[in-house]
Chain A
Amino acid sequence: MAGPLEQFVIKPIVPLPEVAGLDLSFTNSSLWMGIAVIASYSLVMLGTRHAELVPGRLQSVVELAYEFVASMIRENAGKEGMAYFPAIFTLFMFVLFGNTLGMIPGSFTFTSHIVVTFALAATVFVGVTVLGFVKHGAKFATLFVPQGAPAAILPLLVPIEIISYCVRPISLSVRLFVNMVAGHTMMKVFAGFALGLGVLGVAPLAVTVAITGLEFVIAFLQAYIFTVLTCIYLNDALHLH
């Protein structure tokens, strides 16, 4: 039986030659990213193709997703944040599909790799920082000066604020990746117990069923948290203090 960590191994599907020392092979990770993009794109496109006043099943799903992300942005980043709806909606759908597609047996969860989650988080970080400086110019730097703090301790506080701003992409990406890895590993471990214990394996089997349900919750919850934090960072860039 495959070990609990083997599900995270990246395997090349179409080996391609190295370019400047980088392995550009098309891997199982790339395949599932492609599937996530195609699946989310088709869902939205098919759901809105024959838009009706009383939505059908598919249209309802798309409208629910739209409303969910739109209210999340309005609550956390204000009305001005709605200008960035397309980017945030795309991000949410990509992470959500990455997490949930990973629940299909035999599939690959690309959000369980820190390279992927960190690339997403770094994109958010760079985008929000650039946006802040474009919107507010040099005044954006006042984000790092806590209001009402005595001038004497500012030399200590400002570096701390800058670092706490810079480690945001780390906590954002680690949160998603750790949750996916831990959940999927736990599921495999308990499934392994179920096989190894014979008749007594009924107990770990029941646990596996319960964890599967929990994993669906986590798949959705982590996509939600990733997006909500993106909105909060966007809010900082749009409205100083």
Chain B
Amino acid sequence: MTDDDREPFDDFDRRLRDARGGERSRDERSGERRLNYGPGLQAGVDVVAGVAGGTLIGWALDTWLETAPVLLVVFLVLGSVAGLRNAVRTLQKLARDDEERG
């Protein structure tokens, strides 16, 4: 195969790469917008679920073991912390995705 034969294929490869690169950057931009959509709201739900879940578990255990209101208080605090923990995780995940997309 001579260099003359090879040349148009190189050109095609380059154009294909360009076309693909262009497409990917457009995808990345839309992906960024999508993940930036209300990250505060995403994390907020996590906190609310933690507080509600902790209260529910505490109340259920209190009713079962007849220790009201000790476990309710304990699990309300633990649940709030767990909710914040989940919220931090969600935000970290969103930030990591943003970083990967550049």
Q: A residues touching B (Cβ–Cβ < 8 Å)?
A: 159-161, 163-164, 166-168, 170-171, 174-175, 178, 221, 224-225, 232
How many Å lie between the Cα of A174 and that of B83 in the bound state? 13
Q: Which of B52, B54, B82, B86 has the most CB atoms of chain A within a 10 A radius of its CB?
A: B82
Q: State the Cβ distance, B51 to closest chain A Cβ, in Å.
A: 9
Judging by beta carbons under 8 Å apart, are B79 and A221 in contact? Answer: no
Residues of B with C-beta under 8 A to A221: 34, 37
Q: Are B82 and A167 in contact (CB under 8 A)?
A: yes
Nearest-CB residue, chain A, relative to B49 = A171
Q: A164 to chain B: which residues have CB within 8 Å?
A: 50, 82-83, 85-86
Interface residues contributed by chain B, number (CB under 8 Å): 21
A175 to B41, CA, bound (A): 9
Q: Which 8 A-B pairs have the closest CB atoms?
A: A167-B53, A171-B49, A164-B82, A163-B82, A170-B49, A175-B45, A164-B85, A167-B49
Inter-chain CA distance A41–B52, complex, in Å, is 36
Partner of B93, one of A161, A170, A232: A232
Tell me if B73 is interfacial: C-beta within 8 Å of chain A. Answer: no
Residues B86 and A170 in contact, CB atoms below 8 Å apart: no
> A166–B54 Cα gap in the complex (Å)?
9
Q: Are A163 and B50 in contact (CB-based, < 8 A)?
A: yes
Is the CB–CB distance between A171 and B34 below 8 Å?
no
| CB nearest neighbor in A for B100 | A75
Q: Which B residues contact A (CB, under 8 angstroms)?
A: 34, 37, 42, 45-46, 48-50, 52-54, 57, 75, 78-79, 81-83, 85-86, 93
Enumerate chain A residues within 8 angstroms of B53, measured Cβ to Cβ. Answer: 163, 166-167, 170
Give the CA-CA distance A164 to B2 in the complex, in Å.
66
> Which applies to chain B's interface (DSSP): helix, strand, loop or mixed?
helix
In the bound complex, residues from chain A placing their C-beta under 8 Å from that of B50 are 163-164, 167, 171
> How far does the alpha carbon of A170 sit from the alpha carbon of B48 in the complex, in Å?
9
A146 to B, closest residue via Cβ: B85
Whether A167 and B54, one on each chain, are in contact in the complex, defined by CB atoms closer than 8 angstroms, is: yes
> Within the assembled complex, what's the spacing in Å between the Cα atoms of A224 and B49?
20
**Bound: A225/B78 CA distance, A:** 26
> Nearest chain-A residue to B87 (Cβ)?
A171
- Evaluate contact between B45 and A167: CB separation under 8 angstroms: no
Given contacts A174-B45, A178-B45, A221-B37, contact A167 B93 (CB under 8 A): no
Interchain residue pairs with CB less than 8 A apart (19): A159-B78, A160-B81, A160-B85, A161-B82, A161-B85, A163-B50, A163-B57, A163-B75, A163-B78, A163-B82, A166-B57, A167-B52, A167-B83, A170-B53, A171-B45, A175-B45, A221-B34, A221-B37, A224-B34
Tell me if B34 and A167 are in contact (CB < 8 A): no
B10 to A: closest C-beta gap in Å: 27
Q: What is the minimal beta-carbon distance from A176 to any residue of chain B, in angstroms?
A: 10
